[in-house]
Every structure is written in C-alpha cells, then in structure tokens.
Amino acid sequence: MNRTMILQMIVSGALMGQVYALIAYGFQLTYATSKSINFGQGELVMLSAFFSLTLINWGIAYPLVVVGGLLFGAVLGLFVERAGVRLALEQKSEGWILLTIILGLFGFSTAENIWGRDDRPFPTPISSDPIHIFGIGITPLEVSVILGVFAVMGLIEGFKRYTLLGKAFAALAADRDAAGLMGISATRTIMLSYALSGFVSAMAGILIAPITTVGPTMASTLILKAFSVAVVAGLDSGFGVVITGLVLGAIESLTSFFLGSGWREAPGLLLLILALAVRPTGLFGKTTIRKV
Amino acid sequence: MLICEQVHAGYGNVRVLHGISFAVQAGKVVALIGANGAGKTTAMRAISGLIGPDQGSIMLDRQPIHHLEAARIAHLGLAHVPEGRHVFAPLTVEDNLLLGAYGWLPRLFGFRRKAAQEMDRVMQLFPKLAERRRQLAGTLSGGEQQMLAIGRAIMARPKVMLLDEPSMGLAPVIVQEVFSIIRRLKDQGMTLLLVEQFASHALAVADYAYVLERGRIVVQGYPEELMKNEQVVTAYLG
C-alpha cells in the first residue's frame, strides 16, 4: 500500500465525480428558472447514451455522434418540460415531482423495449491506455471526461453571463414578476433551461458510457450521487457542484478500496443525509431546498 | 393611449376591483389616488398582465391587451415600475438596465452596443446609477433602487409607463428627487400612469386624476378641481 496508489484512486475518483457534478448542474439549470427539477434526468442520460450508441453502430463519425447525442438530449429535455413539468407549473402544483418520475420510468421501459436489458460496450476512438504522470496513470478517456464536463459547463456559464438571454435566466430566478414586466417569457425561458439540462445530461451519458458501458440501469446510481452533489453543493452554485463532485468521487473510490466495493454508494448517501440534516441550503447555496 | 373599461379583478376569491374605467391620453400624466387597500396596485397589476382581469377590457394603443400575459404586454410597449421596486438584486445595475430593454435588444450578441444610447440617456438622468454601474442592485439604497427601477423602465422605450408608489419608503428629500424625475419624463412627452398614496405629490404633476375607493372610482377630474373638492381634501390631502 503506497502513496501513489492512494493518489491514483483519488484522481480517478475525482474525475468520475465530475460526471456527478455535470448531472447536478443539470438540476441547477432547471431549478434556477422554474424551481423544479427533472427526477427522470438519469433516464435522459441513459437514453442519450443509447441513442449515441445507435448512431455509432450506424457508422457515423464520432464527432457527429456527439453532436447528435447532445441534440437528442436537448429534445428529450424539451419533451419532459412540455409533457410533464409545464402542466404542473401552470397549476402552481408540485406535480412535476411525480410527473418527471413517471416520464423517467416511461423512458426506462422504452429503452428496455428498443435496446434490450443487457449492458453494452460503447466504442470510442479515445484511447483508454493510461499515460503516467508522476506515477499516476490517467487515461485519455478520463481526460476526455473532465474536458467534456468543463467545456459544457463553461459554455453554459458563459452563455448565462455574457448574453442577454442568459442574463434573463438570472432575472427570472431572482424575480419572476419583474422578469415578466421586462418582457421575459417565463414559459420560453423554462423551456430553454430544460433543453439545456437535457443537453447536459446527454453529455454526461456520452462521457461516462465508454467507462461504465450502456444499459437501462446505467444511470440509476449515477443520478443518486448527482442528487447528493446537488444537495450538498446547493441548487444555485455551479462552482459548488464541481468541488463537491471532486470530493465525493475521491471519497467514493477510497471507500470502495478500503471497505470493499459494496460500500461504494455509501458515502454519497451519507453525505446526502448529513447535508439535509445539517445544512439544507447546501454548502455553497443560498436557496433553501423545500422538503416535500 | 391606455383605456380601461369596466375592469374587474382580484386574487383568488377576493374581488378587489369592481368595474373601474379610466383613460390615459398620449403624452399625459394621469394619477390614480386612494387609500391603502383601495385597489390601486391591483389595477396596475391587471393592466400589466401580472394578474388576469376577470372582466372588462384594457386597450393599449387601440389594441386589446387584457387577455395577454405580462411578457407580451411588455413587448407591446407598456413598462410597469412595480410597487416595492423589484430590481434584480443579484444582478448589476448595468444588467438591470439592459434587461429593461430586453424587448428590443438582440438576445445573444451586440446588445451592449445597441443599448448604449439609451443607457447614456438613463445615466444622464440618474448620475448615481452611472457611479454604481457595476454594483449589484441589491446593495443600492432604497432611493437608488427606485431610480434604477425607473431607469429600467425607460430603457424599454415604452409607449406608456406605470409608476406604482414611487415614493414608498423613501426619505422626503429622495421623494422630491423622484418627483422631479417624473416631471422631466413628463416634459419629454412620456405617457404616465401614476399611483400614489401621497396625493398632493401626485396631483402636483398630474394632468388628470382619478380617486379610487374600495375598488371603485368615486371622483375624477383635473387636479385643480380635485384640490377644491372637500371630500378629496379631507380624505387624502388633509
């Protein structure tokens, strides 16, 4: 047991944690505009991964597969908004919770029917032969995960900060009535936020699929951890989810090494419970998460 | 320019407005005065679409707007400076102003350049805002926030501006300042609907005024007339 090995696990874990962060970021996007989140987001991750796999099997070039997968995710996000969330929001009810869960289940059985129940490998041109830096092995695949996560989050954060449409997101989050008076349509902005959260989910699916394989259940534990990250970090801090993702990923990989892989999911859940008990606004957050 | 006809509105099961009718001509300042709870703010909210009126019609520039949502009405040229100011606290002063012009600015790029002229105009009117350009709106004083809320409405290049209780919670000196701004807007030809609890302030700038009582218009007339009306004087100007 040496230091390098522990470092190795921390690094690989932290990299994986960025995928949780990315999905958690998807929660934040829709929460900001509509105070709702898509509980079926894990299924969006999975469906987008399956769709991308299909594109690969059709022999489409990898960059185009990524673009196609991301667009598919955005369309799914729009579908969830239109078919579920909007109906609940129009009645000012919390029905979106149940509706998004149901749409998720629907997505799950659709995937089982189209692509079957088996886990399948997701071929990618990105190599998984580790490169050694200071004795720590990092695969280009892992690097692609972190680059992909940062690229997408950077793009969306830039959009929110430097375009007027993006500023309207913040305005809507800050004061819904006043935003309406400025001519900012809540409906359209919420649609956009759902499209973006679908886009983000698809990115998570495409990035993680080569590492975990693709199957209907690929996202079920992923989403739980993303949820922990979102709750721990708070629902309004993009920076918070990145840090929390890093930490949770690292703790997880250490736990599974020292206590056995059966304990892998424990830290995430423990963190979730702790966060809800001690600081429901999240470490980095301002908004209180309502307990429903 | 703005015509309300038999407007009924309220919240849930509580009816607040029982058929009010009034008109604001282009380039005029019209005041709506009345006690707390008379329905002034409700009238404003019904016009700008924050609540849907139950009955009656509201026309903006000969176009019916009572069935539209707030964002649509804003695009048609109505700017509402709400009671309590409602600036976007976590955004900068500049961003608040830019969002005021959301209706006509490009959404993605080049909006700063396009908005520059309007922005200069607002900054000239409110030098304080120029100083605090990059400050978060939530850190401004009440008076500055009121200036920002009005500036944001000017950015929209509206046909009609609604001002709801612009003096609320402000120190007397600041109230003077706010009303001098309103007078300047009037001189520039802005069409204004002004709601005020301080009736004397409102009547001093208004071309015409309506007195609202428990959801009904009870008196209307030119300010000179109202200031002679005993009922009005004892109830609102005494």
Closest partner residue to B74 among A163, A164, A182, by Cβ? A182
Give residue-wise pLDDT tens across range A174-210. 999 999 999 999 999 999 999 999 999 999 999 999 9
How confident is residue A12, by pLDDT bands cut at 50, 70 and 90?
confident
Does residue A192 belong to the interface with chain B, where contact is any CB pair within 8 Å? Answer: no
| A253, part of any domain | no
pLDDT tens, position by position, A101-154: 999 999 999 999 999 888 999 988 888 788 887 778 888 888 899 999 999 999
Output the pLDDT for position B227.
87
Task: Judge: A186–B99 Cβ closer than 8 Å, yes or no.
Answer: no
Over range B221-237, report the average pLDDT: 85
Is the pLDDT assigned to residue A47 strictly greater than 70?
A: yes
Chain B, nearest residue to A168 by Cα: B99
Which residue among B80, B89, B152 sits closest to A174, beta carbon to beta carbon?
B89
Mean predicted lDDT score pLDDT of chain A: 89
Question: What pLDDT is stored for residue B76 in this prediction?
Answer: 94
pLDDT in tens, B65-120: 999 999 999 999 999 999 999 999 999 999 999 999 998 988 888 898 888 899 99
- Identify residues of B whose CB sits under 8 angstroms from chain A CBs: 48-50, 69-72, 74-75, 79-80, 82, 86-91, 95, 98-100, 102-103, 105-109, 111, 152, 156
Interchain CB contact of A163 with B (< 8 Å) = yes
Please say whether the beta carbons of B202 and B178 come within 8 A: no
Instruction: Domain ranges for chain B, please list them.
Output: 2-237
| Superfamily, domain B2-237 | P-loop containing nucleotide triphosphate hydrolases (3.40.50.300)
With an 8 Å Cβ cutoff, is A277 touching chain B?
no
pLDDT value at residue B231:
82
pLDDT surpasses 90 at A234 = no
- Contact state of B71 with A177 under an 8 Å Cβ cutoff: no
Share of chain B above pLDDT 70, in %: 100
Domain assignment present for A271: no
pLDDT at A1 over 80: no
Number of domains in chain A: 1
- Domain presence at residue A171: yes
Residue B220 has pLDDT above 60, yes or no: yes
Q: Given a cut of 60, is residue A287 above it in pLDDT?
A: no
pLDDT digits (tens, 9 = 90+) for B122-137: 999 999 999 999 999 9
Q: Which of B86, B89, B99 sits opposite A168 (nearest CB)?
A: B99
Q: Give the residue from A33, A89, A160, A164 with the most B CB atoms within 10 Å of its CB, the best one to mutate.
A: A164
Task: Give the confidence band of B199 by pLDDT, cuts at 50, 70, 90.
Answer: confident
- Predicted confidence at residue A235, as pLDDT, reads 82
Q: Which residue of chain A comes nearest to B76, CA vs CA?
A: A183
Per-residue pLDDT at B238: 64
Structural domain for A209, as ranges? 23-229
- Is A272 part of a structural domain of the chain? no
Per-residue pLDDT at A236 = 79
Residue A290's pLDDT is what? 52
DSSP chain A: --HHHHHHHHHHHHHHHHHHHHHHHHHHHHHHHHS---TTHHHHHHHHHHHHHHHHHTT--HHHHHHHHHHHHHHHHHHHIIIIIHHHHHTT-STHHHHHHHHHHHHHHHHHHHH-SS-B----SS--PPEEETTEEE-HHHHHHHHHHHHHHHHHHHHHHHSHHHHHHHHHHH-HHHHHHTT--HHHHHHHHHHHHHHHHHHHHHHHHHHH-B-TTTTHHHHHHHHHHHHHH-TT-HHHHHHHHHHHHHHHHHHHHHT-GGGTTHHHHHHHHHHHHH-TT-SS--SPPPP-
Q: What is the dihedral of CA B121, B123, B124, B130, to 10 degrees?
A: -160
Residues of A in contact with B87 (CB under 8 A): 178
